[in-house]
């Protein structure tokens, strides 16, 4: 891993070796921050620090294009589908947006658009600009104009079926009107609740002794996710339409035209949207909406800009986490001052020790905040990720008066200390060097900001967390095995490893004291639990890989591995051979998977060469059936092929070429192997041509590539 010293070297002064090493380090660090933010609601850095990491990462990729992958900075989108609702697979993923937090980042976004499309300086670029509604994302499917399915975003790929509930929302048409109605279309937008309705609902809830909601967004989500549609119908929900998913025919060639079309066929669109044609106009709109924010009767947390021309949107395409052609310009976070009463240490499933601030309750942006992440021990000491002082070098101590803000108006974090209010008795916080859960040594690896427990096999915090991760929604998603149940079964020795979940029913049949006799259980609840477990005896390969809890393997990397290897047997065989020699073909195959670098490959190899892990996996595989992950389906001539782009492409940028191949169902790689199907080479192509000749891989010019895929340019 690269030393942090290289992060102080200007990007244009980095050698290729330094850039490659720092690129890996930044990817891992950003990946960990993303996992903490999106999966645990516990950010490990401030927005500013995170943005700085992202900017440097992107600057390195701009200077060294061969380092760029389609999985760069991938994040979990939203949250996994909630239990209690049927699941709906989105035909077109519902991805999140990139964020901009200041004017310069908006200008950079426009600059990236121009560079990607290779536009002349005087070529005009129009954007739609609209308020970013703080609500619940929704996808509505219509067939021959009739509403047939409604689904939440979920994890971006799979959402919750809330069709019955959405039919009760008055602003969602059951039948589209007009003549320009395609055979099928998915209209997407935001379910929200007006501020006055939210306050009135909370008042009624409090008077009835029912749940009160933290903010209008939560109240809208909670109201829609009712098992009884009658309850949803009683709640004052609204809907703004602003985009589309799968659609047979587009009614207009522009984003603005499509907004007008959605309005014409019966949807309510935000009347404040505007067409802007310069960075100055975009920023002026942001200021204008910011000034109106407090007077609007619904919550917004920023402004969204989208490239207006749909053909340009198509060319720009997507990265794994968001479209290249849109960005959310967020408003500054709200802040409040309170007192830090204590610092508690939580131990995560990987053994990471995370400090949590226990605060005197304070309202920030309409939500009562009592806890906030302190990220890591360096952050408490007033040291940033680059080793430089933050907050003027002021550390954080118990008893301090601190400034709290909700990052992106959502997640609480301590951003500063009011030094002149520090009690004389306050002492520097001593971060523990032993795990509070098991007493094992807690150590920091070189270059790591996180301190970890070394007692992986004996630490109860890690064992329980690994089991909780295994049954989580993005993994095996076993209903009825929540945090409390996993903790209780583990404490009683009933479930110690994943395989124990699937042998529980058989063991219970032989046990003298049945599960049904446990407090809180009965014949029906136990039968439901066993049915839920049996329903997960068949699982997709990507979910299995993610469920194993391997370090650095999130949902995105699990999908990449599942698509590349197809079966668990093929993955294990490759990893077994890769463990013998880093120069082996198996290791090179693993390392060449798009988005899987050396550090991730090493983590996989280490996990699968550990006998204990293989024994546990063998026990698990004896109880379940693993389904191969379906490949991308498309009729294109390059579907399923592996393509490498090299040299200075003249008719498209490298990013555009990779995005195009991905849309056509191909896989792109950064290196040539015998599994490569095509090398597309521009002028200046180097060693990859020699590799292509060595492996007998066809080499295409750009014109030949366009002819192959049936396009002209």
Decide if pLDDT at 7 tops 70: no
Q: Do 22 and 62 have their domain in common? A: yes
Q: Beta-carbon neighbour count of residue 92 at 10 Å?
A: 12
Q: Are residues 315 and 353 in the same domain?
A: no
pLDDT score for 63: 81
pLDDT in tens, 245-298: 999 999 999 999 999 999 999 999 999 999 999 999 999 999 999 888 878 889
Rounded-to-10 torsion of CA 164, 165, 169, 171:
-60
Q: Is the pLDDT of residue 146 over 50?
A: yes
Quick check: 348 and 102 in contact, CB under 8 A? Answer: no
Task: Specify whether 141 is located in the same domain as 235.
Answer: yes
Q: What's the rounded mean pLDDT across residues 126-155?
A: 94
Question: Catalytic residue among 8, 17, 87, 132, which?
Answer: 132
Worst-scoring range by mean pLDDT, 347-356, 556-565, 592-601, 688-697?
592-601
For residue 452, the cross-strand partners are 352, 443
What percent of the chain has pLDDT above 70? 89
**CATH number of the structural domain spanning residue 664:** 3.40.50.10190
Lowest mean pLDDT among 3-12, 74-83, 115-124, 461-470: 74-83
- Specify if 464 maps to a domain: no
Together in a domain, 296 and 340: no
Q: Which residues pair with 373 in a beta bridge?
A: 356, 413
| 272 and 141 assigned to the same domain | yes
**Among candidate residues 230, 255, 229, 231, the one with its CA nearest the CA of residue 243:** 255
What local confidence, expressed as pLDDT, does residue 594 receive? 65
CATH number at residue 602: 1.10.150.20
Q: CA 525, 527, 530: angle at the middle one, nearest 5? A: 110
CATH of the domain at 291: 3.30.470.30
Which residues are CB-neighbours of 564 under 8 A, at least 6 positions away? 593, 667
Q: Is residue 668 part of a domain?
A: yes
Are 107 and 176 members of one domain? yes
Q: Are the C-beta atoms of 244 and 187 separated by less than 8 Å? A: yes
Taking phi first (over 0 means left), then psi (-120 to 50 degrees means alpha), and beta for anything else, what does residue 283 get?
Answer: alpha
Tracing tokens 């619940």 back to the chain, one arrives at: 136
- Identify whether residues 133 and 52 lie together within a single domain: no
Q: Is residue 694 part of a domain?
A: yes
Domain ranges, residue 48: 4-67
pLDDT at 74: 39
Q: Indicate if 110 and 218 belong to the same structural domain.
A: yes
Between 305 and 335, the higher pLDDT residue = 305
Residue 39 has pLDDT above 50, yes or no: no
Q: What is the arithmetic mean of pLDDT over 293-321?
A: 89
Q: Which of 181, 151, 189 is nearest to 250 (CA)?
A: 181
> What is the residue-averaged pLDDT of the chain?
85
- Residue 269 forms part of a structural domain: yes
> How many domains does the structure of the chain reveal?
6
Which pLDDT does position 77 carry in this prediction?
45
What are the tens digits of pLDDT across the range 411-432? 688 889 999 999 999 999 999 9
Look up residue 299 and give its two tokens: 């919550």
Outline where 86-145 has alpha helix (H): 103-117
Average pLDDT over residues 176-184: 92
What contacts 456, CB < 8 A, 6 or more positions away? 351, 462
- pLDDT exceeding 90 applies to what percent of the chain? 39
Q: Which of 281, 304, 330 is the last residue of a domain?
A: 330
Which band of pLDDT confidence, cut at 50, 70 and 90, is reported for residue 526?
Answer: very high
Mean per-residue pLDDT, 657-686: 85
514 and 662 fall within a common domain: no
Give pLDDT, residue 630. Answer: 55
Last residue of a domain, one of 572, 601, 627: 627
Q: Is residue 362 part of a domain?
A: yes
Query: Which one-letter DSSP state was computed for residue 254?
Result: B
> Sorting pLDDT into bands at 50, 70 and 90, what band is 194?
very high
Identify the pLDDT of residue 81. 47
Distances (CA, A) of 397 to 42, 100, 133, 414: 20, 32, 37, 12
Question: What is residue 611's predicted lDDT score, i.e. its pLDDT?
Answer: 79
76 is catalytic: no
The residues that bridge with 340 in the sheet, in sequence order, are: 359
In this structure, the answer to whether residues 243 and 307 fall within a common structural domain is yes
Q: Per-residue pLDDT averaged across 463-469, rounded?
A: 85
d(CA 149, CA 87): 11
485-509, pLDDT tens digit by residue?
Answer: 998 898 889 998 899 999 999 999 9
Co-location of 544 and 679 in the same domain: no
Note whether 524 and 583 are same-domain residues: no
Query: 51-65, 633-647, 665-679: lowest mean pLDDT where?
Result: 51-65
How confident is the model at residue 126, as a pLDDT? 97
Query: Any alpha helices (H) in 334-397, and if so which ranges?
Result: 377-381
Is 329 within 8 Å of 348 (Cβ atoms)? Answer: no
pLDDT at 407: 56
β-pairing, 642-646 vs 667-668, is parallel
Q: Does the pLDDT at position 167 exceed 80?
A: yes
Alpha-carbon dihedral sign for residues 422, 426, 430, 431: negative
Examine residue 80 and state whether it is found in any structural domain, yes or no: no
426 Cβ contact list (under 8 Å, min separation 6): 397, 398, 399, 400
Contact by Cβ (8 Å): 180, 264:
yes
Which of 26-35, 37-46, 340-349 has the least mean pLDDT? 37-46
Last residue of a domain, one of 491, 519, 535: 535
In a domain, 199, yes or no: yes
* Residue 317 placed within a domain: yes
Q: Give the per-residue pLDDT at 43.
A: 47
Pair 352, 456: CB distance under 8 Å: no
pLDDT in tens, 569-619: 989 998 888 888 877 888 887 877 766 777 788 878 877 877 777 888 999
* Chain segment 376-395, per-residue pLDDT in tens: 899 899 887 666 787 878 89
Q: Match 């329903």 to its residue by tokens.
A: 535
């Amino acid at each position: 891993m690269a030393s942090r010293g290289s992060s102080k070297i200007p990007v244009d002064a980095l050698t290729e070796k330094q850039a490659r090493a720092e690129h890996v380090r930044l990817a891992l660090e950003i990946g960990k921050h993303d996992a903490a933010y999106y999966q645990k609601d516990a950010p490990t850095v401030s927005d500013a620090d995170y943005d700085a990491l992202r900017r440097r990462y992107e600057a390195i990729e701009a200077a060294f294009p061969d380092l760029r992958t389609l999985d760069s900075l991938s994040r979990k989108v939203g949250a996994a589908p909630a239990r209690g609702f049927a699941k709906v697979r989105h035909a077109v993923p519902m991805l999140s947006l990139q964020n901009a937090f200041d004017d310069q980042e908006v200008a950079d976004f426009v600059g990236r658009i121009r560079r990607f499309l290779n536009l002349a300086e005087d070529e005009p670029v129009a954007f739609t600009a609209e308020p970013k509604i703080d609500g619940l994302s929704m996808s509505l499917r219509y067939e021959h104009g009739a509403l047939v399915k409604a689904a939440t975003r979920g994890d971006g790929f799979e959402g919750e079926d809330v069709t019955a509930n959405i039919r009760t929302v008055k602003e969602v048409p059951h039948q589209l009107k007009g003549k320009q109605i395609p055979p099928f279309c998915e209209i997407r937008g935001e379910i929200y609740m007006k501020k006055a309705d939210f306050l009135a609902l909370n008042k009624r809830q409090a008077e009835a002794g029912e749940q009160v909601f933290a903010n209008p967004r939560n109240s809208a989500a909670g109201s829609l996710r009712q098992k009884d549609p009658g309850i949803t119908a009683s709640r004052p929900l609204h809907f703004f339409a602003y985009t589309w998913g799968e659609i047979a025919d587009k009614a207009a060639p522009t984003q603005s035209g499509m907004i007008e079309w959605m309005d014409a066929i019966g949807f309510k669109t935000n009347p404040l949207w505007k067409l802007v044609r310069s960075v100055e106009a975009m920023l002026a709109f942001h200021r204008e909406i910011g000034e109106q924010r407090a007077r609007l009767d619904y919550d917004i947390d920023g402004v969204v800009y989208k490239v207006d021309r749909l053909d340009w949107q198509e060319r720009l395409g997507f990265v794994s986490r968001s479209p290249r052609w849109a960005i959310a310009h967020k408003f500054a976070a709200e802040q409040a001052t309170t007192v830090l009463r204590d610092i508690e240490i939580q131990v995560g499933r990987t053994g990471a020790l995370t400090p949590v601030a226990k605060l005197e309750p304070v309202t920030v942006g309409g939500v009562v905040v009592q806890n906030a992440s302190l990220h890591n021990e360096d952050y408490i000491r007033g040291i940033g990720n680059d080793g430089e002082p933050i907050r003027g070098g002021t550390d954080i101590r118990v008893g301090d008066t601190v400034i709290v803000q909700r990052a992106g108006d959502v997640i609480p974090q301590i951003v500063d200390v009011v030094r002149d209010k520090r009690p004389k008795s306050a002492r520097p916080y001593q971060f523990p060097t032993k795990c509070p859960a098991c007493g094992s040594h807690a150590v920091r690896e070189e270059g790591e900001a996180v301190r970890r427990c070394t007692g992986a096999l004996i630490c109860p915090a890690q064992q329980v967390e690994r089991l909780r991760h295994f049954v989580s929604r993005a993994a095996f998603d076993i209903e009825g095995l929540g945090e409390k149940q996993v903790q209780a079964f583990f404490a009683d020795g009933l479930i110690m490893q994943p395989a124990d979940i699937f042998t529980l029913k058989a063991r219970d049949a032989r046990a003298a004291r049945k599960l049904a006799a446990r407090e809180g259980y009965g014949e029906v609840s136990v039968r439901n639990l066993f049915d839920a477990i049996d329903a997960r005896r068949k699982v997709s390969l990507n979910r299995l890989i993610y469920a194993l809890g391997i370090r650095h393997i999130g949902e995105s990397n699990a999908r990449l591995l599942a698509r590349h290897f197809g079966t668990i047997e093929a993955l294990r065989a490759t990893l077994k051979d890769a463990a013998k020699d880093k120069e082996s073909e198996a290791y090179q195959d693993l390392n060449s998977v798009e988005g899987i670098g050396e550090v991730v490959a090493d983590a996989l190899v280490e996990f699968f060469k550990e006998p204990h892990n293989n024994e546990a996996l063998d026990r698990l595989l004896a109880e379940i059936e693993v389904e191969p992950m379906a490949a991308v389906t498309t009729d294109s001539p390059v579907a399923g092929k592996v393509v490498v782009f090299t040299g200075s492409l003249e008719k498209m940028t490298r990013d555009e070429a990779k995005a195009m191949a991905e849309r056509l169902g191909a896989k792109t790689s950064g290196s040539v192997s015998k599994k490569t199907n095509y090398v597309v080479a521009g002028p200046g192509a180097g060693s990859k041509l020699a590799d292509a000749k060595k492996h007998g891989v066809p080499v295409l010019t750009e014109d030949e590539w366009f002819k192959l895929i049936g396009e002209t340019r």
